[in-house]
Structure 1
Amino acid sequence: MFLWQYLTLILPVTVQICKAQICDEFTDLDLSHAIIGTSLKIRLLLYTRDNGTCGTLVSQSDLSAHPQFNWSRPTTFVIHGYRPTGSPPVWLLKITELLLARADVNVIVVDWNRGATNINYFKVVENMHKAADNLAAIIKRMQEHGASLSSIHMIGVSLGAHISGFVGAKLNGSLGRITALDPAGPQFTGTNPEERLDHTDAQFVDVLHTDMDGLGFREPLGHIDFYANGGADQPGCPKTIFSGGSYFKCDHQRSVLLFLDSVKGACTSKAYPCASYKAFLDGDCLSCDRFGAAGCPVFGYDVTEWRDVLVRTGPTKTFFTTNTDSPFCRTNYRMEVMIWNEDIRFGFITVKLHGNGKEAVATINHKASEFKKYTETTLLAQFDKDIQSVKKVSLKFSTGNVLKAKYKLRVLRIRLRHLERLERPLCRYDILLQQDKEVTFKPIHCEESNF
């Protein structure tokens, strides 16, 4: 009798443990599938806070049959792009983990690897249109069960960005948000809005560009378009074809890594509206007045704070720069330099901030800056990290020309103003910079009362 009672207690627990260990995984294919070609098959893998690391397959015809799908929660769809080798995206588990850490949502990974795996890219583009039809039908069934379209967020990578756009268009732009991570360029560049992602495809569309001169799309597509490091070459990515496959995909894949960093929320990347990347680097676009008290928008997950003003003011093109690795966000200062040399000087400035045992570096070398007597030269100094309390500042002036005579830069005043924090700017007066020699000093608060 005792044994039977013991078994009745332990068996249900054992069954539950076994069930918990059964996870449905993303379709794993290989190069042979790509060579043969795959027909479209869509699988929906659901992740919630109850099963954050264990995806479960849901019925496309009846999502309500799944015990973990909660209609009252917002739903986020994650849609991958072209898979030329058939392998699962390396970032899938990380993005579901981070999204669930930020909000109690239904995360649905759209597995269309059968259809995306094909060496024939044109066939994959054909399949993505079919995938969009399928997803639109699924979301309509969700709506019939009471799901709100405005609570649906679609995150599309590369071709997945355009799939999101097609789905949104079929639903008359009623989806709450589409986040497009480096939308695919080949077969979409130069097409009409109806044939690609467009800002009318959802109530809010935010787009990141990281490989516009390769696999990505160059022109703006959303209510706000972020151009990381100008939207093309990403820091740390290979510059030559001799680096192998990473040369082709590193810039493109960086879009996902940047977005993951923003979901993690370790730091933020402010983005500045500007006509061009050059003008941004020149320090010509550092005003955020158009966004009111909120200031310039941040890239990524939390850009929804600026949603209303961006929808109201129309499509906005913005720029920001990143570090080579995570944390990718950098800290921006407006740097103003006034000299009293009689002759004009051209050169580059390297700035270091020191404080609390840390050092942050900004090298302003995208072009030779012009320094003219009693004329304020404005520069954008982008530091690799943020120093909360700056104790010392180091400066180095260089010309990049080792053959000419060494110059001196007689600085009448230098002023450093933090662009993300409202605090009194730092100044220093009467400094002599000898070419290629670093000078370190303790800054003081600027004499101006208005900052």
Structure 2
Amino acid sequence: MALNQRLHVSRSPPSQEQSGGGEPCDSFTDLNLSHCFMGTSLYVRLLLYTRDNLDCGREINHQHPASQPLFNLSRPSAFVIHGYRPTGAPPIWIDHLVRLLAEQQDMNVIVVDWNKGAANLNYFIAVAYTREAAHNLTGFIMTMEEEGASLSSVHLIGVSLGAHLAGFVGANLEGRIGRITGLDPAGPMFTSASPEERLDPSDAMFVDVLHTDMNSFGLRGAHGHIDFYANGGADQPGCPKTIFAGKSYFVCDHQRSMFLYLCALNRTCSLTGYPCSSYSDFLDGRCLQCEAFRPASCPVLGYDFSRWAEPLLRLGQTRVFFSTTASLPYRKLSYRVDMVTWNQYLRWGVVYIRLHSGRSFTEARIDHKLYRLEQYTSTRLLAQFDEDLQPVQKISIRINTGNVIGPRYKIRLLRIRFTPLDQPERPLICRFDIIMEENMEVAFRPLPCDSRL
């Protein structure tokens, strides 16, 4: 049977919400726990939003997409594909994502509503439905192509289980889709899957993936041309660490991928990824350059990847890492800090740095490892601050060695240099010949690096 003959064509019930012309809007399927307990069978609906109807979805006929007058096949099309819905409620982020996508460019935004199918208490049933839903969506996109749409202008954005669904669609179309974005692809049932059984780079001309919960509901590894790992791709700042927090303990890290993506689309946070072999190496300051992407800068999470697509396709699979704060706008201010020490006795310690502006300050705790401090040793650190305080009027530094008894040893810094990573137009700031005691804070006024006064 042909794919487009297998599609479920649905007619949604009238909504309370109406368009300007008085015509009822088509809304995302809203279910509840009783549906999930009883189980739902797959039923795929496609809801169209454009700049002309952002507040009022229009359901598209699967077999005749051009019959929907707002659906312009000459425009790019972005398909938003949700994941597992154990409560049956619509995703809270749908409306926000639709609006932000429409702001990027004039496009068709199509919400793939497979809530009937995804809403099952039995996760394994929802996983099984992803293949059938992918066949449905594949048939629709093939019909689009037959009616004049270009596959290279199709962008699938899949969330969790929806990321693998998007990958199945891409594989069905032999990787001819322009782009797939996977937001924390689901891990359960896919951990040991082969590339044919999950999202992988061959599913589209360009695949970008964001990881936020690899140690629980997300999938470990690299599965795109570029994989972004927020805070290492696992535990996210601000998320509960104990089960006593209730539902949030289970979903917070996994959902953070969507909130980071929304923030990136909204351009309120610029989240730069640094190519590196591991998050530990990134935190050690070993991966703070992006020569392979020049003349472009390091890759930035978001919608427009035109600057980085060519080098990424040339490099193959690339892993990039970044850190965030616990809340909006998520962005950390990063400095590369280079120190040259000249203390007489070998000391090991962690470093605390504060930037002061007026009465305000922000602190970076570089405490993930002990640093070796001895005579004429160059040490590079990555200092990440939660706030961007300007102008920096004072810097204070403390080196904690853990020594609580006995004399405090002197630590001499021949030079300390701060290189702003996120704001390269800002000048480098330095200080020379600082004498300090271990475990004691010392403050100084930063100077331009070409000055020793």
- TM-score, normalised to structure 1's length? 0.92
Q: Is the 8 A contact 1:338 1:372 kept in 2?
A: no
The 2-side partners of 1:18 and 1:212 are apart by: 46
The structure-2 alpha-carbon separation of the partners of 1:338 and 1:48, relative to structure 1 and needing over 3 Å to count, comes to same
Deviation at 1:385, TM superposition (A): 3.1
- Alignment-derived partner of residue 91 in structure 2: 89
| Residue of structure 2 in register with 1:12 after alignment | none
In 1, the alpha carbon distance for the partners of 2:259 and 2:202 equals: 26
How far off its partner does 1:187 sit? 0.9
After superposition, give the CA deviation of every residue in 1:348-377 in whole Å (9 maximum; x if it has no partner): 222222348764432211112222221110
The DSSP-based 3-state class of the residue aligned with 2:295 is: helix
Q: Which has the larger displacement, 106-115 or 381-390?
A: 381-390
Q: Does 1:277 align with 2:291?
A: no
Structure 2 residue 448 is matched with structure 1 residue 445 = yes
Matched residue of 1:305: which SS? coil
Structure 1 residue 193 displacement after superposition: 0.8
Quote the Cα distance in structure 1 between the aligned partners of 2:169 and 2:20: 38
Structure 2 matches for 1:32-431, cutoff 5 A? Answer: 32-355=34-357, 359-387=361-389, 389-400=391-402, 402=404, 406-420=408-422, 421-431=424-434
Counterpart code for 1:269: L
Verify the 8 A CA contact 2:232 2:322 in the aligned structure 1: yes
Between the aligned partners of 2:117 and 2:93, the Cα distance in structure 1 is: 19
The answer to whether the 8 Å contact 1:204/1:223 transfers is yes
For residue 405 of structure 1, report the CA deviation from its aligned partner: 5.5
Distance in 1 (CA, whole Å) between partners of 2:393 and 2:360 is 10
| Matches of 1:41 and 1:196, distance apart in 2 | 22
- CA–CA distance in 2 between the matches of 1:75 and 1:358? 46
Deviation digits for residues 66-108 of structure 1 (CA, Å, limit 9, x no counterpart): 1211112111000000011111111111111111122211111
Confirm or deny: 8 A CA contact 1:136 1:170 kept in the other structure: yes
Q: 1:262 offset after TM fit, Å?
A: 0.6
**Does the 8 Å CA contact 1:353/1:394 hold for their aligned counterparts?**
yes
- Cα deviation 1:352-411 (Å, max 9, x = unaligned): 223487644322111122222211100011122334543322222223565676454322
Q: 1:357 to 1:412 in 2, by over 3 A?
A: same
Change (3 A) 1:36 1:258: same
Q: Following the alignment from structure 2 to structure 1, what is the Cα–Cα distance between the partners of residues 99 and 409?
A: 54
Distance in 1, matches of 2:70 and 2:403, equals 65
Offset at residue 422 of structure 1 (A) = 4.3
Q: Is the 8 A contact 1:178 1:204 kept in 2?
A: yes
Partners of 1:71 and 1:64 lie apart in 2 by 8
Letter in 2 for 1:178: I
Unaligned runs of 5+ in 2: 1-17
Distance (Å, rounded) in 2 between the aligned partners of 1:273 and 1:96: 30
Measured in 1, the distance between the counterparts of 2:224 and 2:235 equals 21
Q: Are 1:397 and 1:436, in contact at CA under 8 Å, matched by a contact in 2?
A: yes
- CA–CA distance in structure 1, aligned partners of residues 237 and 107 of structure 2: 33
What is the DSSP-based 3-state SS (H/G/I as helix, E as strand, rest coil) of the residue aligned with 1:146?
coil
- Write the distance in 2 (CA, Å) between the matches of 1:309 and 1:60: 37
Q: TM-score if structure 2 supplies the norm length?
A: 0.91
> In the aligned structure 2, how far is the partner of 1:84 from the partner of 1:402?
52
Aligned length: 434
- Closer, same or farther: CA 28–418 of 1 in aligned 2, 3 Å: same
What's the CA shift for 1:436? 4.4
Q: Which has the higher helix share?
A: 1
- Report the alpha carbon displacement of residue 315 of structure 1 after superposing the two structures with TM: 0.6
Percent same amino acid at aligned positions? 53
Distance (Å, rounded) in 1 between the aligned partners of 2:358 and 2:141: 52
Residue identity opposite 1:124 in structure 2 = A
SS for the counterpart of 2:145 is helix
Any conservation in 2 of the 1:262–1:302 contact (CA below 8 Å)?
A: no
| Distance in 2 separating the partners of 1:17 and 1:222 | 42
Query: Quick one: structure 1 residues 388 and 201, their matched pair in 2 at CA, closer, same or farther if it must change by over 3 Å?
Result: farther
Q: Which amino acid aligns with 1:286?
A: L
1:172 CA drift (Å): 1.1
Report Cα offsets for 1:55-76 as digits up to 9, x if no partner.
2212111111112111121110
Q: Distance in 2 between matches of 1:401 and 1:86?
A: 56
1:6 corresponding residue in structure 2: none
Rounded to whole Å, the distance in 2 between the matches of 1:309 and 1:237 is 35
Question: CA separation in 1, counterparts of 2:88 and 2:136?
Answer: 21
- For the residue of structure 2 that corresponds to 1:303, the secondary structure is coil
In 2, the alpha carbon distance for the partners of 1:336 and 1:445 equals 15
Amino acid at match of 2:49: Y
> For 1:252, what is the secondary structure of its paired residue?
helix
| CA distance in 2: counterparts of 1:191 and 1:265, whole angstroms | 35
Q: For residues 77 and 342 of structure 1, do their structure 2 counterparts lie closer, same or farther at Cα, with a shift above 3 Å needed?
A: same
Match of 1:433 in 2: 436
